Structure 1
Amino acid sequence: MLDKLLVAAGIAVALWGVSCLLMVVFARRLPDGLLRQVAEFLPSCVTTARALRKHPEVPRSAKVAMLVAIVWVISPIDLLPEFLPVIGPLDDVVAVVLLLRFAARRVPRDVLLDAWPTDPRLLEKLLGSPRTP
């Protein structure tokens, strides 16, 4: 019985890994445009957060907002249950976008753009125009 369970778990993990690999391959083949930017957005956010984590010019409030965004996504508690089609993940998306926007507006624009690994057009749309002091 345990052997069958381990085999089933191994197959599930292998299928998950293959599907992730296929999504990466297909995302790379997307033509330039908004759809490609959206597909690259989450991996770019992760890369940027890792780069900014120990940067001296990033304020503590921005680091806390990035941590809250990560905890929000990982947390099993949701405002809207995940099994609801279309709107299930909506609370996660809205919360993460708002938290990332809050964090990104506190980081100096040049530092943020230097840490952003892909085309910055979608990031600039999310942030809006730079604020003047």
Structure 2
Amino acid sequence: MKKILSWAKNLKKQIYILYFAYKDARVPWYAKLFTAGVVAYTFSPIDLIPDFIPILGYLDEVILVPIGIMFAMKMIPKAVIADCEVKAEELTKNGKPKNWVAGVLILLLWALLFVWIAIKAYQYFQ
């Protein structure tokens, strides 16, 4: 159990590192784009695979998010990661950031996607 908790804590720290790296000017645009997607997906309350589906529901948290983190970390310069690790340590001591604008944008994006799918499904079945 301790091993799982340690893994989850490390995963959370890496997400915060990516959060700060996204804001850093030294990170290439393509890495920022990918990193923003990984961080947004991780913080989003809506999952690709809903959690209520047995076993598969937690597949994204156990497999997709760590793979996304791994790829994002490889795209970011090591100096940026080192700087962001310090910031992430400070953040975990002081509490996580609250960015209501980003949260609203994520929910709006998911809502627009849902509406688009609903319209396409309606058109298909008519």
* TM-score where L is the length of structure 1: 0.49
1:82 to 51, 56, 60: 51
Deviation at residue 103 of structure 1 after TM alignment: 1.3
Q: How many residues align?
A: 86
Structure 2 CA distance for aligned equivalents of residues 97 and 64 of structure 1: 17
Q: Which has the higher helix share?
A: 2
Structure 2 CA distance for aligned equivalents of residues 93 and 103 of structure 1: 16
Cα deviation code 1:96-131 (max 9, x no counterpart): 22222221111122321332246xxxxxxxxxxxxx
8 Å contact 1:69–1:95 — kept in the other structure?
Answer: no
Where in structure 2 are there 5+ consecutive unaligned residues? 90-126
> Which letter maps to 1:39?
A
> Which letter maps to 1:54?
K
93 and 68 in structure 1: CA distance in 2 versus 1, 3 angstrom threshold: farther
> Max radius of gyration: which structure?
1
* TM-score where L is the length of structure 2: 0.52
Cα deviation code 1:18-73 (max 9, x no counterpart): xxxxxxxxxxxx6xxx4453131243123212321222221112211122123434
> Which letter maps to 2:32?
K
81 and 47 in structure 1: CA distance in 2 versus 1, 3 angstrom threshold: closer
8 Å contact 2:27–2:76 — kept in the other structure?
Answer: yes
In the alignment, structure 1 residue 47 sits paired with structure 2 residue 19: no
